[in-house]
Amino acid sequence: MNNTFLYIITVLIWGSTWIAINYQLGNVAPEASIVYRFALAAVILFTYCKVAGLRLQFSLRHHLQFFIFGLTLFSFNYYFLYSAQQHINSALTCIAFSMIMFFNVFNARIWYGTKITRQVYVGGILGLFGIVTLFWPQISDTQLGAETLLGLGLCLTGTVVASTGNMISMRNQKQKLPLLPAMAWGMAYGASAMAVVFILQGKSFSFDYTFSYVISLLYLAVFGSVIAFASYLTLLNRIGAHKASYASIMFPAVAVIISTIVEGFAWTTYTMVGLLFILAGNLVVLTRSKKPITPIDKLDEDISNTELLNINKPKLETQRL
């Protein structure tokens, strides 16, 4: 698929999953909901891979890689983020998670030696400033105490873990491992690991059979997990982690628009200014920069033109004769 289409799909789906997650909270423990979500997504992916004839058998080394992939991107990152929301509001959680772009920039540099352009840093700063402005009314009411610091620490830990999962996904694709089977195994391992953690905590599984919980679970599994992760992880390999992860900064913008339609959210000056900065940062990061012509490039061009004239010169003289 076209990169622009994949980016839009990722932003729209993950920007709307907050609604579904709200319906997941309540009667069922968050850890159990994570298990249900990724276990169901894994079943869907395994079924698709089987029908499509995609390879599902891999070496033990690859399975170990899928296991770590699952722990970092489909398990413990969500566990830390869900735990953080018990100590801080969703605004601070959103801002802290948006730092994944900068973690991806540094990790891509360390893991793969990726050179990051100035426009990525400028765009990221603009986007982060936009998110802070967007949520400033909620942030200004927050008291910086032990509870808040604990929540921010958990959220940043989850973000670092998720960034590590991004890097492992890039390694999977660089090793020519098929994306969908890798996701299927990763989600299966992630769900299994979270189930073990849940049981070790002495908690028991329960399920909410209400329409809202079941529908939100299906949405999160099919759209929020299978489709969105497939789109996002494809972008990671195509345009790089630093650009693809700007989608995380775009999520709040989509969430605000949906909240305006669904919940009647009232816009303020902070809302408009914040969205403008987020969109400006998005344009800066994703716009292709024109490569400036260096003196060496100019010299090469002059030499090429001279050679072209020398090649065509005999032909011109022959035509005169």
Same domain, 160 and 299: no
Same domain, 188 and 304: no
Q: What are the tokens at 43?
A: 């079943």
Same domain, 212 and 89: yes
Average pLDDT over residues 185-206: 94
Looking at residue 312, what is its pLDDT? 45
Same domain, 257 and 319: no
Cβ-based neighbours of 172, under 8 Å, separated by 6 or more: 65, 66, 69, 179, 182
Same domain, 304 and 238: no
Mean per-residue pLDDT of the chain = 83
Same domain, 240 and 310: no
Residue 257: pLDDT band (50, 70, 90) is confident
Q: Structural domain of residue 277, as residue ranges?
A: 3-290
Same domain, 254 and 167: yes
Specify the number of domains making up the chain. Answer: 2
Q: Which range in 17-31, 117-131, 190-204 is most confidently predicted, on average pLDDT?
A: 190-204
Average pLDDT over residues 81-91: 76
Q: What is the identity of the amino acid at 80?
A: F
Cβ-based neighbours of 1, under 8 Å, separated by 6 or more: 231, 234
Same domain, 181 and 321: no
* Length of the chain counted residue by residue: 321
Q: How far is CA 104 from CA 7, 164, 236, in A?
A: 17, 8, 10
Q: How far apart are CA 278 and CA 239, in angstroms?
A: 19
Residue 247: pLDDT band (50, 70, 90) is confident
Q: How far apart are CA 101 and CA 163, in angstroms?
A: 8
Looking at residue 123, what is its pLDDT? 85
Same domain, 309 and 197: no
Same domain, 93 and 130: yes
Residue predicted with more confidence, 94 or 203: 203
Residue 319: pLDDT band (50, 70, 90) is very low
Q: The pTM is what?
A: 0.80
Same domain, 187 and 304: no
